[in-house]
Every structure is written in structure tokens, then in C-alpha cells.
Structure 1
Amino acid sequence: MAPTPVTELTDRARAIFRLVVEGFIDNGQPIGSKALAADGRVNLSPASIRSVLSDLEVLGLLAAPHTSAGRMPTETGLRLFVDGMMQVAEPTREERAVIERRLSKHGPIEQALEATSSILSDISAAAGVVMVPKRNPRLSQMNLVRLDARRALVVLVGEDGSVENRLLEINEDTSTSALQEATNYITARLCGKTLQEAAKLMVTDIASGQSALDEASRDLVERGLAVWSKDASQRPVLIVRGQANLLDDEAMSDIERVRSLIDDLENKQSVSALLDSAREAKSARIFIGSENRLFALSGSSVIASPYRDREGRVVGVLGVIGPTRLNYARVVPMVDFTARSLGKLIG
């Protein structure tokens, strides 16, 4: 069924629909005709309100979770509200100042990214997520240390101070001297190079006979660099903060949904792929419930916005993940402002 354009709703249908959606966002509960009549903002009897609610339900905009329990918006209804009726509340000057202050007090960009995720969690009362730009650090040191007959530990150190450990399978007959020779070669020839530069130089050295590496050592260097390259390209770096916000009193009444959402957040590859789909957006993108397959079972919403460096290039995506009753009108502009503020810190 195609979504009903908001212009096709009567004035009173729009008014009642807005009250139901806003009430659901406020407290997560379905709203009945008596409560709407008592609200005073709609000058209709409970019977007339029930008739309008029924019409909205037929249109697929509202649903009744339980008999006589009132109505709540469907995902289709939330999409209609967000696209056609929502009036965004721009961050106040005080809110903007707090966000900028919390970001600027952190030194290295890694700390600012951590702070951004926490800020997003705080402003949304949901989970804040930041997809970190792919790093391409220059090598400072790479050591290969034997662990046992079939495994070696690759300790990778970048000039930016990053330290990563990886396991590398080796042959049982790989000698300690081969490990040391590979380490010495990297220290002498490849330090100060990016991964791509190091791999290219190694190929050139081998082709010209300048590497002075035996076959075993050369294989170790090649595979050691490959481990780092594969990991960097296939494992997205995703900072998630505020999962505890998803475990409020209301959520505990639907513990299976919450458990499903927590499981989804652990699948960082899929979460990153979802966020990455917002890279080309001009501002925040909103995914509601089953509009994205990842969160279809948990019925969760995602608000994601790209952040750019000072040259205007997209370097990552940030956002919030939470229940469909997120306060979209407040959170959407806050996410956009946070993205712009973070971008100012990225050279």
C-alpha cells in the first residue's frame, strides 16, 4: 500500500493523527479517544474521535496493539509524520555551546570521536554511534614474535601512536632468525611509509634484488603487511555508546525486542554498512523500523548524518539508534549540528 499523502487527510484527521504520534513519542503508549477528548486540543466528542481513529487505522497510519487500548502510529504513520508534518526544533544557543565545548576540550581526534558518540547518546536518550574514518597510518614499527610452532604475533605500531596485534599462521619450520630478519627489514626500509607505500617498496626491492631477504623472511613480511591491510578494509571501526539507555522501564516490558536490538548493535559490519548508506546525504537520513533490514526485527529507528573535513569531503557517518518513538523533531537537527561541529575539528 502506497503511503497516504498528508494533503489527503482532513484538518481534523491531521490534528488527531499528530496528537497520537506526539503522545506516542512522549511516553511510548497507545492513546485512546477519551484521552484525546480530555486533552482539549481537539473539539470533538470521544465518539467522533473514535471514528477518525478508525479511518486512520484503515489507511494504515495507526494500529491498535490491543483491543480497547487506543492507537499508536505504524511505521508508515511515523514516516508520514516525519516527512510531512514534523516541525523540527533547532538546537538552542546553549545546547550548541555545550556540544561544541564537549568536543573541543578533547585533544586527539580519536578522543573527539569517543566524545561525539557519548554526546549523541545523551541528546537522544538512545545509543550514539560514530563510524570512524578509515585510517592509513604510517608504519613506526612492526615486530613478529613467535607464540608457538604454528603461530606468530604481529605487533603493528603506527606513527600516530596506534598499536594493533594480529595473529599470523607460520610454518613449523619457520626459524626465529627468519622472524628477526623480517622485523629488521621492516625497521630499516618500511618505517615512515603507509601500508600501500611499504608494499610497493617491498615489491621494488625484491624485483631489483635489494631486499636481501630469504624466501621465508620475504613471505613473512608480505603476509604481515597483508594482515594489516585486510583488517583495515574489512573491519569497520564503530564507536557505540549508550546501549544502557535502551534498557529503560518501558523497554523491559518488551525484552525480546531490546535483546534483538543489542544483538544488532554487536554486528558492527552490518551497522557500518547501514550508516555508510547515508554518506552522500546532504543532512540527516532517517530509517524507521523495517525500512532497513538490519533493525527490522527489533523495530528500531536510525538517524544518521555524514560528517565532513574542512575541505568538504565525507570522512565518516554518525547517528543515533533507538526505538521508533525517538523524538525526531529534536534529535534530527541535533545530529546534524553535531556532525557539523565534529567536521570543524577534522583537518
Structure 2
Amino acid sequence: MASTTITELNDRARDIFRVVVENYLESGSPVGSRTISKLAGFSLSPASIRNVMQDLEELGLLAAPHTSAGRMPTELGLRLFVDGMMQAAEPSAAERAAISARVDTGGPIEEALAAATSVLSGLSSCAGMVLVPQREVVLRQFGFVPLSRHQAMAVLVGQDGSVENRVVAIPDGVTPAMLIEAGNYISARLSGLTLGDARGRLAREIGAGRAMLDRISAELVSQGLAVWSEDGERRPVLIVRGQANLIDQGAAADLERVRQLLEELEDKEEIVRLLDSAREGAATKIFIGSENKLFSLSGSSVIAAPYRGADGRVVGVVGVIGPTRLNYARVVPMVDFTAQTLSRLMG
């Protein structure tokens, strides 16, 4: 059953299967034989169509939720449709313009990634997700602003123009002049380096007696750099936007599924692992229902595509999650275009 391919179906079965899937994805309701018989291009009686649908059900491609109801595609049927029959529709000019405008803001890359998930969520009516590139900030300028006898505000300016603040504890005996000296040292000697490289150079210069800092100032500089390095390692690498889109008009009839999906979205580590698996392919990947363990209970689908950095290597993944009744033909190219837009931005 799992090995069924489109080529194994005759023309009549393929046509009826395609109509059932497309109508179900559009309406969310099972499709009956009488509905199909009224469509242009079908000269078959409802009884003949029912016989074909029964054959497709025996192959595991369709299912009947109720005895008297029509048929709807199974997860296996959706997989067969997506892989062998779906005709993807390119994003419209308005959709492409909306994605490009929201992503290319000229600000820090994290803002662009958050914007990408938001616009993708809005256009697809799904929840948008993106894996943030794991990268270290490159220093441009660094300074300390005194707050009290034992605390200072460390201000870091990155080469990408990003500005971040952290409150740090300062050693006893540190004066405002020492804070200025420490900030000037970092800006002058360590600018252009990643945080890891800056910490390494500082350790070598202190070890060789070339740091031009007294012991307390050197301790202050080390502590300031350490705060950012440790924070970067703990920084969330997943952005999720648009969970509210999952509670759509059809959700009232299936609140348990929606509740389960929202719970699953709280498991950030599992989602990261899932999206990470999309790094391996060059194209957009589609996970349908129980094909992925994490979302098997809610019966949800994930569409994800990798995006690349300046050197062409994959640095992250962007995608959406929604019910298996997604408009795959529209959403797949949309996710792919967003990934291409992010790749151009990162390049």
C-alpha cells in the first residue's frame, strides 16, 4: 500500500483522485461521488465514481470519515498527490513584493528573520517558523556606562549595526575612568573580531604582558566579553509567529487537534530538530502528519526550505506549520521564495 505510485493508477482513477484531493484541500470537507459527477469533464455516473473511490480507499489513498460521507485523502494520499500530481502556483507579484519588502528592511538580520516569519504566516494562514543562523557577533565598538558601585551597562555595537545592552557586575575598585579605558581597549584592539576570537586575543595579550591594562581593567574586559559569548550560546535559535492563524474558522469542529498542535509548538527543541532535518535537501521539504513524530497527534503538516549565507552554505531554515489540509500548491512556492529572499539578504 505504501508503495503505490501515480503510474499504477489508470487515467480514470487518477482524475477522480485528483478531484477529491483538490476539492478537499479547498473546502476541508469530504468529497462525494455526486459532487464529482456534476463537474465538467466527468461523464461517469455517481455509482461508477463510487466504485473507483472504493478502489482508491482499498489502496489506502482515500478514507471515509463516516459511512454515508464522501471521501477525503489519507496522509498517504496527500503524499502521493504532493509528490506526483501537484501543480505548484508561483507566488503572485503582490505576494513576492510583500515578502521582499518585509524582509529587506536594512536592519539587523534577526529583525529580517522575524519579519519573514510574520509575513509568511499572514500570507499562508499558518504559523511561520525560522531557524536563526548560529553566528557570533562581530565587534565594532564596545563601551561601559556606570550604573552603581557594583554594576555597569555594557553596550556592544556590531559590524552589522546592531546595538545590544547588558547589565554586568563590576569588580571592586573599578572607577569611571577604568570603565572608559576598558571600553576604549576593546574598541581599538578587538574591533573586527568575533566574540570568541576577541576573548582569545585578550587572553594571549594578557599572558604576554601586552594588554596595556591593569589587572582590574583586564578582568572587567574579560567579563564583558564573556557575558555576550555565554548569552549567544543560550540565545533561542527558533522564531515562531502567527500561532493564532491555526485557530481558523474550521477549528471549532476540531478544537482538540488545535490544542494539541499549540502544545506541540511549545516543544522548541523538537521543532528545531525537525527543521534541522530540512537543511540536508536543496529544495523545499514537506512533512505530512504522522511522517513526523512531533506533529503526528495533531495531524499537522510542515513545509520548510533552507536558506544560505554568502558562501553558499545552508545557515538556517524557514517554513510554516498548519493542518494537513493546506493549499500545498500555493504555500510550497511561497516558502521557497521566502528562503530565496533570505539567501539574497544573507549573501
Could you say which TM-score interval applies, normalised by the shorter chain? 0.7 to 0.9
1:163 is aligned to 164
Q: CA deviation at 1:62?
A: 1.3
1:182 and 1:225 mapped to 2: Cα distance?
A: 16
Structure 2 residue aligned with 1:314: 314
- Deviation string 1:118-175 (CA, Å, 9 cap, x unpaired) is 221122111122222223213444769999x9xx898563423342548x9x9xxx96
Letter in 1 for 2:61: L
Counterparts in 2 of 1:304 and 1:156: CA distance versus 1, 3 Å: farther
Runs of 5+ in structure 1 lacking a partner? none
Distance in 2 (CA, whole Å) between partners of 1:205 and 1:317 is 39
Q: Deviations over 1:253-284 (max 9, x none)?
A: 21122122222323333322222222232221
How far residue 20 of structure 1 moved from its aligned partner, in angstroms, is 1.3
Matched ranges for 1:257-276 at <5 A: 257-276=257-276
1:66 aligns to what? 66
1:246 Cα deviation from its structure 2 partner: 0.8
1:328 Cα deviation after fit? 0.9
Q: Distance in 2 between matches of 1:273 and 1:158?
A: 31
Structure 1 segment 331-342 matched on structure 2, within 5 A? 331-342=331-342
In structure 2, what is the equivalent of residue 7 of structure 1? Answer: 7
Whether the 8 Å CA contact 1:30–1:69 is kept in 2: the answer is yes
Matching of residues 48-197 of structure 1 within 5 Å: 48-104=48-104, 106-110=105-109, 111-139=111-139, 140-141=141-142, 157-159=156-158, 160-163=161-164, 165=166, 176-177=172-173, 187-191=183-187, 192=191, 193-197=193-197
Letter in 2 for 1:262: L
Cα separation, 1, equivalents of 2:42 and 2:258: 35
Bigger mean CA offset, 120-129 vs 89-98: 89-98
- Quick one: distance in 2 between partners of 1:175 and 1:31? 72
Q: Which amino acid aligns with 2:60?
A: G
SS at match of 2:88: coil
Q: 2-side partners of 1:161 and 1:251: how far apart?
A: 40
* Counterpart AA for 1:254: D
SS of equivalent residue, structure 1 residue 69: coil
Match of 1:199 in 2: 199
User: Is the alpha carbon distance of 1:200 and 1:298 closer, same or farther for their aligned partners in structure 2, counting shifts above 3 Å?
Assistant: same
Judging changes above 3 Å, is the alpha-carbon distance between structure 1 residues 162 and 293 closer, same or farther for their aligned structure 2 residues? farther
Partner letter of residue 26 of structure 1? E
Q: Please report how far the alpha carbon of residue 42 of structure 1 lies from its aligned counterpart in structure 2 after TM superposition.
A: 2.9
3-state SS of the aligned residue for 1:108? coil
Normalising by the residue count of structure 2, what TM-score does the alignment of the two structures yield? 0.82
Aligned to 2:279, the other structure's residue is in SS state coil
Q: Secondary structure at the match of 1:137?
A: coil
- Cα offset for 1:94? 4.5
Q: CA deviation at 1:109?
A: 4.3
8 Å contact from structure 1 (residues 117, 130) kept in 2: yes
Which residue of structure 1 aligns with residue 284 of structure 2? Answer: 284
Q: CA deviation at 1:47?
A: 2.0
Structure 1 residues 318, 161: closer, same or farther in 2, change over 3 A? Answer: same
* Cα distance in 1 between the residues matched to 2:5 and 2:165: 52
Quick one: distance in 2 between partners of 1:249 and 1:90?
26
- Give the whole-Å Cα distance in 2 for the aligned partners of 1:67 and 1:182: 80
Closer, same or farther in 2 for the Cα pair 1:228/1:270, shift >3 Å? Answer: farther
**Conserved 8 A contact 1:60-1:74:** yes
Percentage of pairs with the same residue: 52
Do the aligned partners of residues 182 and 2 (structure 1) sit closer, same or farther apart at CA in structure 2, a change above 3 Å counting? farther
User: Number of residue pairs matched?
Assistant: 338
Q: Unmatched 5+ residue regions in structure 2? A: none
TM-score norm. by structure 1 comes to 0.82
Q: Tell which deviates more after alignment, 174-183 or 295-304.
A: 174-183
RMSD: 3.3
The code of the aligned residue for 2:28 comes to G
Question: What is the match of residue 345 of structure 2?
Answer: 345
Whole-Å separation in 2 of the counterparts to 1:54 and 1:180: 82
Partner Cα separation in structure 1 for residue 227 and residue 263 of structure 2? 27
CA distance in 1, matches of 2:230, 2:132: 17
- Alpha-carbon distance between aligned partners in 2 of 1:94 and 1:261, rounded to the nearest angstrom: 30
**Code of the aligned partner of 1:161:** S
Deviation at 1:183, TM superposition (A): 6.3
**2:24 & 2:331 partners in 1: Cα distance?**
16
